[in-house]
Structure 1
Amino acid sequence: MNAAVATSVFGAFMVLTVVLGLLAVRRKGTEKGRPAGLSEWSVGGRSLGTVFIWVLMAGESYTSFSYLGAAGWGYNSGAPVLYVLAYMSCGYALGYVVGPMLWAYARRHGLVGITDMIAHRYRAPWLGAAVALLATVCLLPYIQLQITGMGVVVSTISYGAISLNWAYFLSFAVTTGFVVISGLRGSAWVSVLKDVLVIGTLGFLAVYVPLHYFDGYGPFLDRLVAEKPRWLTFPGHDSGGLGQVWFVTTTLVNSLTVVIFPTTVAGYLGARNAEALRRNALYLPFYNVLLFVPMLLGMAALFVVPGLTGADSNLALFTMVVDSLPAWAVGLVGVAAALSSIVPMAVFMLVIGTMWGRSV
């Protein structure tokens, strides 16, 4: 019965996701009076305002890692997981300057992707093709990660009724069909649904889990300090050298990389104007506050479901969700986590398609 209820909730929202994609296609615009073609599909006709850019770029950074990996890191190591908050916030600060520059250059020359920009800037089409090939190789593991994350979520919220293999297939099929139909604009529309669910479910879990298992944050944090103090300092528990030097260097490298990541650039180029990107850079760090929730709840799981090892530690948060919530609520949390896989996976696929369509 629980599996049927949770799976029904999940299925209904997947249908809604496809419907949103179709509605986005119906409302697609034109560019300079002509059918926009690849420009409409890949960068949303360069017409996305502040809200859509915010939810789209938040969707690229708030992936299945946020529900699975962040909680798993909190469970296994503790404090070192805060590097995610640090590098994203630093990257957004750099993006305040870099984003409008790339947007202006691409708009001026009618370019729709980072490989387009490289080929045009250096007058070397072969260089754009080479970057497209390299970027594809580097993006495929991210797509695989999202497929795996969504598959694990689907299998878990179905109480094991859906096998992992079928869950992987369904996650890939839904995302592929969705991105082919709707492009960047559809991803932005679905990001709105995703963000409503993410903010709602994580806000609820942030209050519910400590109250349900520990009678509040006070007793939970007191117990954490008394029994697991290593999780609250660097280098964390069993982290293999994830100390201050690692934290600073990893934050620096990742903050530089995320600014010019192909999917980030796709978000830049979809903006209506440069001011939307500057506002976006100011607002995005506030979204990162949500990441404290799975990190902290991962540490709460140390007392609720002790002994998780290996990949099972990534299920620390969902184990508590399935254990304590009714099936319909499990389904809603699963939908939020699944959409956190679909949106970034869709943008990864879209970027690869754009690079190959224009450069290869």
Structure 2
Amino acid sequence: MNGHTTELVVFILLFALVSGMGFVASRWRRPTDLASLNEWGLGGRSFGSWITWFLVGGDLYTAYTFVAVPALVWSAGAIGFYALPYTVVVYPLVFLVLARMWSVSHVHGFVTPADFVRARFGSPTLALLIAITGLVATMPYIALQLVGIEAVLKAMGITGHLPIIIAFAILAAYTYQSGLRAPALIAFVKDALIYIVIIAAIIYIPAKLGGWDSIFDAAREKFAASPAPGDGYILNANNQIQYVTLAFGSALALFLYPHSLTGVLASRSRNVIKRNMSALPAYSLVLGLIALLGFMAIAAGTKPVMANGKADNNTIVPMLFDQMFPDWFTGVAYAAIGIGALVPAAIMSIAAANLFTRNIYREYLNKNATDAQEAKVSKIVSLLVKAGAVLCILVLDPQFSIDLQLIGGVIILQTLPSVALGLYTRWFHKGGLIAGWAAGLAAGMWMLYLIPNPANGKLHFGGSAFALSNLGFDTKLTIYPGFVALGVNVLVAVVATLLFRAAKVADGEDATARDEYFADEGDSKVKDLDLTGSH
């Protein structure tokens, strides 16, 4: 902790401030009763444009984004900028589906994407698979928020897991008490801090390093000397397809995550969704600037923290801040990253808890559960989810958690035909969607298994670059496995649907109607939601 006292004091003070806000949030906007998923899990479904913008942005741009994207740029170069086009592309794509999801969810009282699938395709089995898929994909994502906090603590010379456990215990307590209102309120502080830190960084750090020319020259020199075929100051012939498919596949996956939809369903109207999808690309500008921190770290000669004889690349940005900023502002920057972990971790745990409660507990364990019982189960499960995330960090190598999140992206993509395409068409047979889901998962896991990582000696699950040579092509080109797996999924779903239809196999009934996909605030169909019997 030597030399980091000022940073630690500022970090603790800001962390304590947002924790206090988390507890106060239960009284924010005066809910009459938090004992329902509408209130505890979706904030009363009443958030307007500003709150939704901060909530969804705070959910998507996490602490891990803050540390991992520039760390990837620092270590591998241009491929790390894949995050920028994917966040630009994603908003027009989801503009097409999220308004429809909001409408049909508000008519029927859906809380999770699996709720929608259950009603649309009349299949409890398919809904269960979608719910389990969402849970499995979300868990490592929560663990990665801990990786972000841990990177900051390591940069301040703090080792051991006790501070992480304390931070998540506080998070668990105020999320349990306040539900979605807690991250919604904290998101204002989190985003303000991140904007302040990034604007300061792109002005102050280049000035100290001799300008942007010096920064880009240093990056060019480093990657010119790199032997790795996928690394480079600019994209090369080997990684261009990988870059495009990784960006596009990530864009398709982003709003399939349950926590992304949670913020959307908490919005007050379709217009709130539309305005947010138009305004959220402002975060992409900040993300591009965050990525450039990787090149700044190269120019500054920043070294990552060494742990157990290994370099922890996730500490590059915290170490850059420590190297370049005065101590008090480094503390502010560290707090921005730490608080940046709390908002998405809270939303993710709430979304995962809602999935369990609505699509496992209510569907299979207690069909007559009251609103209060649902809320109680969700609160308890949200605690268990956070405990599981902490356990991942305590027991597993953090690098394995990162690999798990990569696997999670491939997994969640397999829900696209049921969730996203299901919002537009009822053509698919429920059996075809199940077959496609299984085939896509099998293909994705097989491809991920074949990817090695020579840098750390891993033979399997070593990254996101699947070599096309594994499919018999004579090339060094690589591709994102999630993109290929999704193609397999859709193809199998189409073929299986045709076969089921030809064999006249009974399909599930669609409990939704066409006009329900266009209902808006004030529409008679959008009623005060009483979720009993909404299945």
TM-score normalised to structure 2 length: 0.61
Match of 2:132? 133
Please name the residue that 1:279 is paired with. Answer: 275
Q: Where do 1:317-328 residues align within 5 Å?
A: 317-328=317-328
1:62-77 correspondence to structure 2 within 5 Å = 62-77=61-76
Structure number with larger C-alpha Rg: 2
Higher relative contact order (CA 8 A, sep 6+): 1
Shift of 1:35: 6.2
Counterpart of 1:142 in structure 2 is 141
Contact 1:115 1:132 in 2 (8 A): yes
Q: How many equivalent pairs are there?
A: 352
Alpha-carbon distance change, 339 to 230 in structure 1, aligned in 2, over 3 angstroms: farther
> How many Å separate the matches in 1 of 2:23 and 2:335?
19
* Distance across 2 between alignment mates of 1:29 and 1:36: 13
The residue that corresponds to 2:504 in the other structure is none
8 A Cα contact 2:218 2:299, kept in partner: no
Alignment deviations for residues 161-219 of structure 1 (CA, whole Å, 9 cap, x no partner):
x324123313322322232122212211111100000000111011111112x222233
Residue 220 of structure 1: which of 215, 224, 232 is its match?
215
Letter in 1 for 2:100: M
1:29-86 deviations in whole A, cap 9, x for unaligned? 55xx876621111111111111111111111221122321111111111111121111
State the alpha-carbon separation in 2 of the partners of residues 230 and 167 from structure 1. Answer: 39
- d(CA) in 2 for partners of 1:186 and 1:348? 13
CA distance in 2: counterparts of 1:225 and 1:198, whole angstroms: 28
- In the alignment, structure 2 segments of 5+ residues that lack a partner are 361-535
2: distance between equivalents of 1:201 and 1:306?
18
TM-score (norm 1): 0.89
Identity within the alignment, %: 26
Tell me the distance in 2 between the aligned counterparts of 1:259 and 1:293. 23
Comparing 45-54 and 11-20, the one that deviates more = 11-20
Contact 1:150–1:167 under 8 Å retained in 2 = no
CA RMSD of aligned residues (A): 2.6
Structure 1 residues 150 and 228: alpha-carbon distance in aligned structure 2, compared to 1, 3 A threshold = same
Cα distance in 1 between the residues matched to 2:273 and 2:170? 29
Please say if residues 113 and 354 of structure 1, whose CA atoms lie closer than 8 Å, have aligned partners that are also in contact. yes
SS at 1:68's partner residue?
A: helix
Report which stretch shifted further, 257-266 or 121-130.
121-130
Amino acid in the other structure paired with 1:237: G
* Aligned AA (2:11): F
User: More displaced, 348-357 or 178-187?
Assistant: 178-187
Equivalent residue number for residue 199 of structure 1 = 195
For the residues of structure 1 that align with 2:127 and 2:346, how far apart are their CA atoms? Answer: 22
Who is 2:44 aligned against? 45
Q: In the aligned structure 2, how far is the partner of 1:205 from the partner of 1:148?
A: 22
Cα pair 2:302 2:319 within 8 Å, conserved? no
Cα deviation 1:105-139 (Å, max 9, x = unaligned): 11001121212222222333444333222321221
Alignment partners' CA distance in 2, 1:186 and 1:219: 43
Match of 2:312 in 1: 312
CA distance in 2 between counterparts of 1:178 and 1:22 reads 5
Asked if the contact 1:209/1:297 (under 8 Å) is kept, the reply is: no
Q: Which amino acid aligns with 2:210?
A: D
Distance, in Å, in 2 between the alignment partners of 1:107 and 1:192 is 26
Q: 1:303 aligns with which of 287, 294, 299?
A: 299
- Asked whether the equivalents of residues 29 and 40 of structure 1 are also in contact (C-alpha less than 8 Å), the reply is no
Residue matched to 1:180 = 176
Tell me how far apart the structure 2 counterparts of residues 330 and 306 of structure 1 sit (CA, whole Å). 15
Task: Please tell me the residue identity of whatever aligns with 2:12.
Answer: G
Alpha-carbon separation, structure 2, partners of 1:186 and 1:307: 36
Q: 1:322 to 1:114 in 2, by over 3 A?
A: same
C-alpha separation between the residues in 2 aligned to 1:346 and 1:8?
24
- 1:68/1:242 CA distance change after superposition, 3 Å: farther
Give the distance between the partners of 2:181 and 2:63, measured in 1 at CA: 21
Task: Give yes or no for the alignment of 1:357 onto 2:357.
Answer: yes
Q: Aligned runs of 1:192-271 on 2, under 5 Å?
A: 192-212=188-208, 214-225=209-220, 228=223, 235-237=230-232, 243-271=239-267
Greater mean deviation of Cα atoms: 247-256 or 162-171:
162-171
Shift of 1:225: 4.5
Q: Which amino acid aligns with 1:73?
A: L
Match of 2:334 in 1: 334
Query: Alpha-carbon deviation of 1:303?
Result: 3.0
2:341 maps to amino acid: S
